[in-house]
Amino acid sequence: MYPNVKSSVYGLEDWISLTKGIELNQMLFKHEDGKLRRYIVVRKQVEIRPKAGGKILFEDLPDYRYSCYVTNLDLPLDQIWNIYNTRADCA
């Protein structure tokens, strides 16, 4: 994950609990000279879900693994997560 995206993820507040140990959030982000895109961020609590995929992004938050999806879908967060989570090539 690029440092500028990672920094934006770190600043996210008001996470939505999907199920025990999985929280969702979203942000709009535009890379330099790029177009604005919707990012869906999934945060999984390692203690509750030790086999969860994703990466530990922050040294001060080692209890969470993060995954991020870029999408153009205009659906609620939980529906987008369900769509992407069932695909074998998404972690």
Q: Tens digit of pLDDT per residue, the chain (91 long)?
A: 788 899 999 999 999 999 999 999 999 999 888 899 999 999 999 999 998 888 999 999 899 999 998 999 999 998 988 888 776 555 5
3 by DSSP, 3-state: which?
helix
pTM of the model as a whole? 0.86
Q: CA 42, CA 19: separation in Å to the nearest integer?
A: 11
Q: Decide if 27 contacts 6 (C-beta within 8 A).
A: no
